[in-house]
A and B are shown apart, each in its own frame.
Chain A
Amino acid sequence: MRPRHLFSIALLLVWAVTGAGCRDAGIAAEATRIDGQHPSGEPTVALPNKGGSFKFAVLGDFGIAEQTQYELADQMAKLRQRFKYEIVVLVGDNLYGSERPQDFQTKFEIPYKPLLDAGVKFYASLGNHDAREQRYYKLFNMDGKLYYTFSPKSDIRFFVLESTYPVPEQIEWADKELKASGNNWKIVYFHHPLYSSGERHGSDLRLREVLEPLFVKYNVSVVLTGHDHFYERLKPQKEIAYFVVGSGGQLRKGNIDRGTGLTARGFDTDLVFMAAEIAGDEMYFNAISRTGQVVDAGVVTRRKTKP
């Protein structure tokens, strides 16, 4: 049997065994498929890749300046050659340890240079390892703010929160901004997960108590977080799709507690970033590992205002 066929079969086996194809309420993973026609080591595009759609990537807990981070960054660059995502949203813990100028280089600017050179913009949120001054860093596009909002396309708006120190003013701001937004797609991201099966951290229940009612009330469709060092897609919670993508550099192998009942799909054996594409009322997503394997895929349908 030819090596390419073996590769395709292996991918299909992974697909079947991991359960990536199972259906959850609101998430139809069957809409995507593994395509084994690409050379081994390159990420498989199992996204529609439509013209005119909005494409972005998600990365978290990454700035460690180690070989593994660079290898995942290489996969992000390879994917960009065929899937022209415009922005990368960062779910926090952007730089671990010291934050001297050389750290910004080795932990961010060098590994993601191909993307930066191609004009991809990074929009950061801050995690518990990040100094507050990162908000002034030009390449994080935070405009000097700890929490902010931006709309890369008319029907899409991102809301970026600071979850390590959620002062009442921020919660009031989030309430006001979410309420005022008329965008079809409301996507919120920040560092601490409201839902997670992490044995190390897990769900932040106190933060959930404050934020979840806003997300439900104002039709947020997707919430992206990090902090736990793995990839997890949660079963939809109150019709909202939650993802933990804290696997951009740091990895906590075997840390997903399979007994929480929250996991729709979890991957905790290698680094992962997420690629997503919004076309109309659907957001397609792939979770792609350091070796280019698609470890999760599916579609989220946006929430709509109930009559």
Chain B
Amino acid sequence: MCARRGGVATLAAAIVLVLGACGRETVPPPPPATSASPASAPPTERVVGPLSQEDARALATMNDRLKQYVELHVKLEESLPKLPKDATPLQIDKNQRMLEKLVREARATAKPGDIFTPEAQPVIKRLLATVFGGPDGKQLKSSIMDENTVVPATIKLTVNARYPDVVPLTSVPPQVLQTLPKLTEDLEYRFVGDWLILLDTHAHVVADYIDDALPK
């Protein structure tokens, strides 16, 4: 996230360009160069329904942020002793808390929206609204809310903080996972209250969140 300021400026410029282009009813300009190939980013392959170019760009940018996060995560994890497949509880605990410490230190200035960018958040919300607005929406939400009784404010859920040990993980139905941009195994989408969180499953750290993501 070290290039965040530059990224924000680029993004702002891109938004101005896009808005201007829309006003003239012309094809929007190419997406900002947030990575080598944002146009071919995988999220567009997995979402429901067609995405506008603007939405695809927003998700491509988010995907780049995800890649940056995962690169950091992998780098930090590789600096630790590799956890064997027949580990003791002590090894597991030590390894996990060391990774948590490293991640939190490396992202000490992290804030909401670093990964779920302001441009991506409405797209994610729309995708979720599409899924939950469908014929099975009520049951899908019911699956998520099964043990999801936590009010995020009451547990002080914050970016780059440890996921509370006492809060059970919400189940995320396969239909929802097929809709959201794909993640690597290091990260998972979970819901806490009506917040969609991005959980670093190895470090037990909340990497980012979107509040009010679960449609009412």
Q: Which residues of A contact B (CB under 8 A)?
A: 97-101, 103-105, 128-129, 131-134, 136-138, 143-144, 163-168, 171, 192, 201, 204-207, 209-210
Contact = CB atoms under 8 A, between A and B. Distances in A.
B88 A206 contact: no
Contacts of B53: none
B152 interface: no
B140 interface: yes
Contacts of B146: 201
B212 interface: no
Contact of B178 (A103, A133, A168): A168
Contacts of B27: none
Given A99-B93, A104-B89, A143-B85, A207 B168 contact: no
Given A128-B168, A129-B168, A132-B202, A100 B140 contact: no
B25 interface: no
Interface stretch (B68-76, B105-113, B114-122, B169-177): B169-177
Interface in B193-216: 201-202, 204
A265 B89 CA distance: 37
A132 B163 CA distance: 13
Interface string B33-54: 0000000000000000000000
B177 A166 contact: yes
Interface of B: 83-93, 95-96, 136, 139-140, 143, 146-147, 165-166, 168-175, 177-178, 188, 201-202, 204
B92 A136 contact: yes
A167 B177 contact: yes
Q: Top 7 A-B pairs ranked by shortest CB distance?
A: A104-B89, A138-B86, A101-B89, A206-B173, A144-B85, A136-B87, A164-B171
Contacts of B93: 99-101
B171 A133 contact: no
Contacts of A205: 136, 139, 143
Contact of A137 (B92, B170, B202, B204): B92
B88 A97 contact: no
A165 B143 contact: no
A129 B172 CA distance: 14
B96 A133 contact: yes
Contacts of B178: 168
Contacts of B139: 205-206
B171 A136 contact: no
Given A97-B165, A128-B169, A136 B174 contact: no
A99 to B, nearest CB: 7
User: Which of A97, A136, A137 lies at the interface centre, i.e. has the most chain B CB atoms within 10 A of its CB?
Assistant: A136
B172 A165 contact: yes
Given A99-B165, A201-B146, A204-B143, A165 B87 contact: no
B136 A206 contact: yes
A136 B165 contact: no
B85 A168 contact: no
Contacts of A133: 83, 92, 95-96, 202
Nearest to B177: A167
A136 B82 CA distance: 11
Nearest to B201: A132
A234 B206 CA distance: 38
A205 B84 CA distance: 36
25 contacts: A97-B165, A98-B165, A98-B166, A99-B93, A101-B89, A101-B93, A128-B171, A131-B96, A131-B204, A132-B201, A133-B92, A133-B96, A136-B85, A136-B87, A137-B87, A137-B88, A143-B85, A164-B171, A164-B172, A165-B169, A165-B171, A166-B173, A192-B171, A206-B139, A207-B174
Contacts of B166: 97-98
A168 B147 CA distance: 23
Contact of A128 (B147, B177, B202): B147
A274 to B, nearest CB: 23
Contacts of B88: 101, 137-138
A61 to B, nearest CB: 11
Contacts of B86: 136, 138
